[in-house]
Structure 1
Amino acid sequence: MVVTSNDYNLLRLILVLNETRQTVQAAKVLNVSQPTISVMLKKLREQFNDELFVRSKTQLEPTAKCLTLIAKLPDLLEQMEQLYLDKEQWNIADMSGELKLLLPSPLMAVIGAPLVGKLTKLAPKLTVECAHWGHDAVQLLERNPKAWGISYLPMDTNKVLYQRDLGYDKFMLIMRKQHPLVSNELTEVLKFPICLNTIPGYTEPSKAEMLMKKYALDGHINLRCSDMSMMLKLVQDSDYICVATEKFANVLDQRYRFEALPSELYKDTFRRSYALFTHQSNRHNPLTDWLEQEIISLMKS
């Protein structure tokens, strides 16, 4: 049997509808009109002699036969995708269209800027949309096969997403240049207000906060914030001390001062694993390999 591109799109619609449960959202993901989705679904129903999706209140629900197909389709579609991928002939300069990159706020400047700069230089016909890793990041990656994201671990995801571990990030204290801190001893650091960075979707409390609670010092945590730019502005204008990635030492100017974490915190807090996330269909995509290598290189530099 010869599988046409039209058949491929029809099969993919089953997975997209299962993720979105709405024809309007499925049309946006596949970049077609809603009437086109209705026509595609009608063809699928005829081919499989089953309703596949039935309406329940405000969303579509898969039938028993559809659930069986959903369990098999990801691997089958990935195998078909590989027929069109030739890593030996892949050239990043030939890339065009659009793709999306999601990064947590702390890595936006230290990883996002150089990564996007190099990517768009090597692929000038490509348009990159770069956004913060937010509370809806996992759902966005599930719906959009042209999206990749970087975030810290552990992250609550599912089988729709593919994950590549990238190593770990290290942390330090950031404060203004003229900050009155005299040493990085824990008792000295905790004389000042502390701000911690939060990552949407991260499934564990900050390790720094966990250690502070261990020492019954949680009252000294004055701010949790997901916006790194706000935290740095606060640090610049006050006696706040921020716990953040060591990579900021490469991008912040002389208005800031850096200190190692207190020894009590350093034991458990100094590093955190992170990973690259994308749709399962990109598991063998050469761009996934390229992003992995570039991110690791940037974090090690």
Structure 2
Amino acid sequence: MSQLDLNLLKVFRVLIEVKNTRKAAEILHLSQPAVSRALRRLRDYFGDELFVRSAHGLEPTSKALVIGSRLPEAMDQLFEALNVKEEFEPQFYSGKVTIAVNGFIAHWLVPPLIKALTEKAPNMEIYMANWEESTSDKIINGEIQLAINYFPLELTKQLIQEKLGSDDFVVLCRKDHPFQKEVIGAEDFPKYPLASHIVPGWNETKNFTVEALKKLGYKPRVQLSSSKMNIILSSLELTDMLLPCSKLLAKTLSDRFRIIDIDPELEQPSSDFALIYANKSRRNPLDEWLQQCVIDCVNSKFK
């Protein structure tokens, strides 16, 4: 053990996850040559190649797979044992926190969350970010404290996905829209143009409603796509467009729009949503406090 640097195990842990020295270097904030040097030292220590180059990156050897199956839990226990529990006092905190939220969820959750955070930590600087492709990496390297998104997502084991609750999907339209039924079926969607709220990393390459309708032989038309919800909502009030969206979001807008239920026969994406945070920071007093604030806000929404 005297020959083994704990930092080498950190490199191994990331390599077993990403199987690529370049990606590992980015996550660890190291140069690629530094990661390669660490891998050579690991090979010397374990007396095994550990990773073999292939067309798809690095393929772990059988020994690496055995080590990789045990190492994350062992390292987490070690860091937890070394971490002295500190009390977090929000009223004295004056730093910055960053939270990433799926756009649909943000509209109904972020306002009460901001209220709760600012009341308890009046000097805290809060940055609310959109969920993006790079969000998971930013959580791992500490740029983002936590995130909220629909789940389950295909994420590295370095991140924890903790279910917060379940939503439903409905259709939103202007109050005097010509479609007057309370439930919209697959055959009704092609009669009106659709609006789509784009959430990076979630639906930017796949429109769930369009895909579900195509499977049933219908060809809907998406007339407006935007990541700006205010643009979509303003357009809904002036046109016959329909917006498939979160029911919790729609309820916050029910005074301006009409809510239409979707026929349960029509396939919809998972409506479960989760709190997402780094495994390594799960005992961080600030992060634990932020997580509890989110949980409390969600619970109050379902009372």
* TM-score (normalizing by structure 1): 0.69
Partner of 2:192: 192
Question: Structure 1: how far apart are the matches of 2:95 and 2:22?
Answer: 22
- What residue in structure 1 maps to residue 292 of structure 2? 293
Aligned pairs (5 A) from 1:225-264 = 227=227, 229=229, 231-248=232-249, 256-261=256-261, 264=263
Would the alpha carbon gap of residues 59 and 171 (structure 1) be closer, same or farther in structure 2, given more than 3 Å must change? closer
Q: Summarize the alignment of residues 85-100 of structure 1 with structure 2, pairs less than 5 Å apart.
A: 85-87=83-85, 89-91=87-89
The correspondence of residues 163-174 of structure 1 with structure 2, limited to 5 A, is 163-174=161-172
Contact 2:196–2:244 (CA under 8 A) maintained in structure 1 = yes
Cα deviation, 1:149-176, whole Å, max 9, x if unaligned, reads: 3222343446444221111124443223
Could you say if the C-alpha distance between residues 128 and 84 of structure 1 is closer, same or farther in structure 2, counting changes exceeding 3 Å?
farther
Offset at residue 14 of structure 1 (A): 0.5
Local SS of the residue matching 2:5: helix
- Note the C-alpha offset of 1:82: 0.8
Quick one: structure 1 residues 278 and 223, their matched pair in 2 at CA, closer, same or farther if it must change by over 3 Å? farther
1:19 Cα deviation from its structure 2 partner: 3.0
Shift of residue 246 of structure 1?
3.4
SS of the residue 2:83 aligns to? coil
Change (3 A) 1:155 1:59: closer
Query: SS of 1:83's equivalent?
Result: helix
CA distance in 2, matches of 1:52, 1:270: 39
Structure 1 residues not aligned, in runs of 5+: none
Distance apart, 1:276 and its partner CA: 2.0
CA shift, 1:239, in A, is 1.2
Paired with 1:145 and 1:124, the residues of 2 have a C-alpha distance of 20
Q: Percent identity?
A: 28
Q: Which residue of 2 aligns with 1:272?
A: 271
1:77 corresponds to which of 58, 75, 78:
75
Instruction: Give me the whole-angstrom Cα distance separating, in 1, the residues matched to 2:130 and 2:253.
Output: 21
- Structure 2 vs 1, CA of residues 111 and 280 (structure 1 numbering), >3 Å: closer, same or farther? same
CA distance in 2, matches of 1:290, 1:73: 28
Offset at residue 198 of structure 1 (A)? 6.8
CA offset digits 1:249-292 (Å, max 9, x no partner): 576597x3132426x44999799221223343345555554444
Does the CA contact (< 8 Å) of 2:173 and 2:241 recur in 1? yes
Q: Distance in 1 between matches of 2:277 and 2:113?
A: 16
Secondary structure of 2:7 counterpart: helix
- Residues 208-254 of structure 1, C-alpha deviations (whole Å, 9 max, x = no match): 975x679x684456469573525435424421121222343576597
Distance 2:78 2:155 in 1: 25
SS in structure 2 at match of 1:13: helix
Question: CA, structure 1 residues 149+261, in 2 after alignment: closer, same or farther (shift >3 Å)?
Answer: same
Matched residues in 2 for 1:129 and 1:13: separation?
30
Aligned length: 292
Within 1, Cα distance between the matches of 2:94 and 2:58? Answer: 34
Q: CA deviation at 1:88?
A: 5.7
Does the 8 A contact of 2:168 with 2:271 survive in 1? yes
* Aligned residue identity for 2:78: M
- Residue pair 1:160, 1:280 contacting (<8 A) in 2 also: yes
> 1:108-151, CA deviations, whole angstroms, 9 ceiling, x for partnerless residues?
333346546765883957775723244x656x379546653322
Q: Tell me if the contact between 2:150 and 2:270 (Cα under 8 Å) persists in the aligned partners.
A: no
Contact 1:183/1:189 (8 A) holds in 2: no
RMSD of aligned C-alpha atoms? 4.7
